[in-house]
Structure 1
């Protein structure tokens, strides 16, 4: 009887084990990937990248490095319209010619209008599921590094709305970037003036700032306070530029002098904060410049030697 009992139990155990061995593992969540690629101008290509975080495909213009062998990467962010409005580095500057002979991959995402290029806490009726920090600091770099022969050294630069965002991204993902540049941007704090400045840009697009980092003064705003978290930029190359708002020879096209004057005040204040922390930064305070693409192009050229040294371009 005991033998039969043990035999029965052994058979049951083997049956359970066999059934468990046939259970299929859960399917892995999809990762970021290249959905499509096509040439557009010379070496430049359009790279369509699927973002799992936003469950959408993001268009990116890429100028691959000119030299042979591994090259670093610079991520260029555009202004408040996200480049989908036809206003961008690609559309309004000599970026193709300037980087034509340089051994660096230049990546220019399209999208993210009024999003501050951050991860929103809550989906918004206007900006949708915005997880731009995740996309820019994790998903897109993983695809770029896999598609191109990269060194793993990166810089991020932004203009106008995305100037402060570039600084924030460098703070949030300190291991991703060795250099950061803000051209006529406004690195923000979570004080009333900073909250008002950021909120005004989001509201301009019809979105709700509360869906971004929660109510004013909430933990989300504190986490993205550039002044509060500026120490995380230690060891990086930081380039900050802005102008007085007074139109001058540096300009090209219609500008926004009041916006530039505000950017100058923000930029100077943030440069001062870095100085208090003993963090060296290149700070350019131009006497003339009215928030135009002529000014932004000039500052991109001026900043490049600093960024290039930091990333080994």
Structure 2
């Protein structure tokens, strides 16, 4: 565990609620933006970047600020449809100066989902937050109430504005993988499935808690403001490995590589990119692989089925996550009923 925590910490430093319908609704993304939900969350604006890609500004009462959310829309919008929520990694849009999700900046998500009959919802922001509700504001990361935003404030507005049918699933990578697994484990009535890539899902030991602290610290934040001291019950309350029974009956896809060089390190990459992938992404993926294997063992002991992909190679990097986004689609499609 100490070796695992050292790998996770060092590498990451470098790199069920009932939801009521909004009071006002429109299915036209380009139509009036007067949506106000029962939580007080509201759609501030909708800007259609293309006829299939919307940038939505949503006021979050719990965070006291506007949150940007990208939505990718299907070609056929004649009927209500399910929604896939995709969560980012630790930087959460920082690379794009928060102008778009890293998913759309680093992968072919826009093209891949173009023929899928779903809304794809991509929150922008949440750097170092684990998409959790924090106990107190952080001097650097501010107010983080992402669990409340993602489970109570945002879904009814998305469903109303973009003809959602109330069926939701999650996808996440790295920090977002742990966030996604935590959300479905805590809110099983809200989500039908999850795809999680290169994540850790166990907060039981001080070593893994300290690895989370290092991850949050890499963004300038303090995880004590998130879940308190290591003895605080909030760590257990946000530990998916302690809630695996809630995953029974869900569509689950988890994957990881070993950290060894794979096809994307085989040649042709710039030296700086290759060095970063091997010296940072390699050890980090090796740690995520240990985490994933431990979580899969917990699922197996509980008799909870999951689709598990263990690759014999692969680093902690976006080209592998793009592959996993594509490979996990059949599981997510079953979860969404499409």
Shared fold, TM over 0.5: yes
Separation in 2, partners of 1:31, 1:221: 29
The match for 2:89 among 79, 84, 92 is 79
Unaligned runs of at least 5 residues, structure 2 = 1-36
TM-score, length-scaled by structure 1? 0.88
Is 1:31 equivalent to 2:49 in the alignment?
no
Is 1:151 equivalent to 2:165 in the alignment?
yes
The match for 2:324 among 296, 299, 302 is 299
Task: Tell me the equivalent position of 2:71.
Answer: 62
**Which protein, 1 or 2, shows the higher relative CO under an 8 Å CA cutoff with sep ≥ 6?**
2
The match for 1:195 among 185, 209, 217 is 209
Task: Tell me the equivalent position of 2:199.
Answer: 185
Unaligned runs of at least 5 residues, structure 1 = 1-27
Separation in 1, partners of 2:283, 2:50: 36
The match for 1:45 among 26, 51, 54 is 54
**SS in structure 2 at match of 1:262:** helix
> Post-superposition shift, 1:42?
4.3
> Post-superposition shift, 1:248?
1.2
- Contact kept, 8 Å, 1:250 with 1:298, in 2: the verdict is no
- Contact kept, 8 Å, 2:258 with 2:315, in 1: the verdict is yes
> Post-superposition shift, 1:187?
1.1
**SS in structure 2 at match of 1:62:** strand
Is 1:216 equivalent to 2:225 in the alignment?
no
Q: Deviations over 1:17-70 (max 9, x none)?
A: xxxxxxxxxxx9971111111122341010111101001101111101333311
Is 1:282 equivalent to 2:301 in the alignment?
no
Separation in 2, partners of 1:261, 1:43: 37
Radius of gyration: which is bigger? 1
**SS in structure 2 at match of 1:165:** helix
Is 1:270 equivalent to 2:295 in the alignment?
yes
**SS in structure 2 at match of 1:100:** helix
**SS in structure 1 at match of 2:143:** coil
Is 1:310 equivalent to 2:307 in the alignment?
no
> Post-superposition shift, 1:179?
0.3
Separation in 1, partners of 2:38, 2:242: 35
**SS in structure 1 at match of 2:66:** strand
1:157-172 pair list within 5 angstroms: 157-172=171-186
Number of residue-to-residue matches in the alignment: 286
Separation in 2, partners of 1:265, 1:97: 32
Structure 1, 78-87 or 180-189: larger mean CA deviation: 78-87
Separation in 1, partners of 2:334, 2:237: 30
- Contact kept, 8 Å, 1:183 with 1:241, in 2: the verdict is yes
Separation in 2, partners of 1:29, 1:274: 36
Q: Against the structure 1 CA distance between its residues 29 and 129, is the aligned structure 2 distance closer, same or farther, given a 3 Å change threshold? A: farther
Q: Deviations over 1:129-166 (max 9, x none)?
A: 10000001111111101111112111111111111111
Task: Tell me the equivalent position of 1:113.
Answer: 127
The match for 1:240 among 248, 254, 257 is 254
Q: Deviations over 1:83-134 (max 9, x none)?
A: 1322711101000000001100001110110111100001110111100000
Separation in 2, partners of 1:304, 1:30: 32
TM-score, length-scaled by structure 2? 0.81
